[in-house]
Amino acid sequence: MRDKTNWEENTLINNIDILCLEKALKIYVNSDIVIMTHPSKWKEIQEYLVEVHKIDKIKIINLELFDKFISCSKLRYDLRIQDDSLSFCCAESLLQGKLPKVSLDLEDPEKCINSLLNFRDSLISKIKLNIEEEYCIGCPSLIEDYWIRPANSSRRLDCSMTAPCQYNCCYCSMHKQLSGFKNIRKFSFSQFEPLLETLRQRKIINKNTKIVWVAGELSILQQNKIISFFELEKLDYIASNAYIYSAEISEVLKNNHGVLSVSLDAGTPQTYRKVKGVDYWEQVIMSLKNYKSDSIRISLKYILLEDLNDTYEDISRFIYLAKSLEVEKVVLTRDVTKEIKLTPERMQLIELFKELSIKLGISYVIYAHLNNSIESQNII
């Protein structure tokens, strides 16, 4: 039986009839009842069954799907593909320990996936039991919470392979290898297809998996091929420099209710040129307007960079621009490959980012590694 509010009666889930509670209690008068829910709700449901439906407490079973212990949602539910590895996250710069990953072997995807899953399960157990190991140490994502048993399907798959881009952002590792249109042919999505297909066959990725595309610039790659490959999943987050407005990207994001993430990192064309290495400000603003007129959800990012864009003028213009573009949210973060000195002046800029967002009614996120606490506010 299921909660009537979420599931329609007379529907079949995995060939099982969905019944509302009242009907099920009438049909299965002498059955035991198993409650599968978050522990914080269990007692409330038990009391409801006893008091309202007069069910004997002894017949109510708590199936412990959840346990409280230290773990990390990325380790449990995410996957990340890079050129040479399979991992779960990109938290390397935040760690005192090692990033959990296995070598990527595109010739033998089965073996590679098995070793990743075995590694993950053993690491989750060790962290849970507080057994000393060398991975994930110091990561702020490790928290004590209620965790469901690990499932083998992934909620999110990050495609972070090195792929070409026409930009030259000062903080990007990709552009040093593959910048410029001339390198577009160097990227072959096909070589990753057997791996992705194996993940699909093993149901590690499925129709509920959110695909995050942060590999180079999708609008200049084998765009249609990549988009159509992920038709069975949800291509739901695409990082783009937005130099090119792409109707295909717009359509896929719209269908999946996905997000276009654009790292603008500036409030003026001059700063944009210094940070991004190109002079495409006007073009990008035009593309963002086009995406907006397609009703695409846009997340506008600001990577705070020492002595480049850490000025009052840039940050305030950025927030006002975000307001005029009606973006869904603004994000402040830092270049994760470098330390940033959080001087009182820079802390004031972080405050400015927050206060101006609030004043103009824009949802914002300030990432944990910038000022030691994740701050966000959704404005509805």
Please report where in the chains the tokens 């060790």 appear, as a residue. Answer: 126
For residues 363 and 329, the answer to whether their CB atoms sit within 8 Å is: yes
Give the total of residues touching ligand SF4 (CB under 6 A). 23
Of 143-151, 163-171, 246-254, 357-365, which part binds ligand SF4 (CB under 6 A)?
163-171
Half-sphere exposure of 165 (CA within 13 A, CB side): 25
Half-sphere exposure of 275 (CA within 13 A, CB side): 25
Q: Is 216 in the site for ligand SF4 (CB under 6 A)?
A: yes
Of 59-67, 104-112, 167-175, 265-273, which part binds ligand SF4 (CB under 6 A)?
167-175
Q: Is 109 in the site for ligand SF4 (CB under 6 A)?
A: no
Shorter beta-carbon distance to ligand SF4: residue 49 or 302? 302
Q: Is 174 in the site for ligand SF4 (CB under 6 A)?
A: yes
Q: Is 75 in the site for ligand SF4 (CB under 6 A)?
A: yes
β-strand pairing of 16-17 with 329-334 = unpaired
Q: Is 167 in the site for ligand SF4 (CB under 6 A)?
A: yes
CB of 42 to ligand SF4, least distance (A): 27
Shorter beta-carbon distance to ligand SF4: residue 168 or 311? 168
In terms of residues, how long is the chain? 380
Q: Is 91 in the site for ligand SF4 (CB under 6 A)?
A: yes
Of 41-49, 50-58, 95-103, 108-116, which part binds ligand SF4 (CB under 6 A)?
95-103
- Pick one of 49, 169, 321, 365: the residue that binds ligand SF4 (CB under 6 A): 169
Q: Buried b vs exposed e over 1-24: b needs ≥16 C-beta within 10 Å?
A: bbeeeeeeeeeeeeeeebbebeee
For residues 99 and 155, the answer to whether their CB atoms sit within 8 Å is: no
- Pick one of 19, 81, 86, 89: the residue that binds ligand SF4 (CB under 6 A): 89
Q: Is 74 in the site for ligand SF4 (CB under 6 A)?
A: yes
Shorter beta-carbon distance to ligand SF4: residue 74 or 297? 74
- Alpha carbon separation from 265 to 244, 280, 292, 325, 335 (Å, rounded): 18, 13, 19, 15, 11
- Alpha carbon separation from 148 to 38, 45, 69, 123, 130 (Å, rounded): 9, 19, 10, 16, 18
Q: Is 290 helix (H, G, I), strand (E, B) or coil?
A: helix
Which residues in this chain contact ligand SF4 in the complex, by CB under 6 A? 72, 74-75, 88-89, 91, 95, 99-100, 136, 139, 141-142, 165, 167-169, 172, 174-175, 216-217, 241
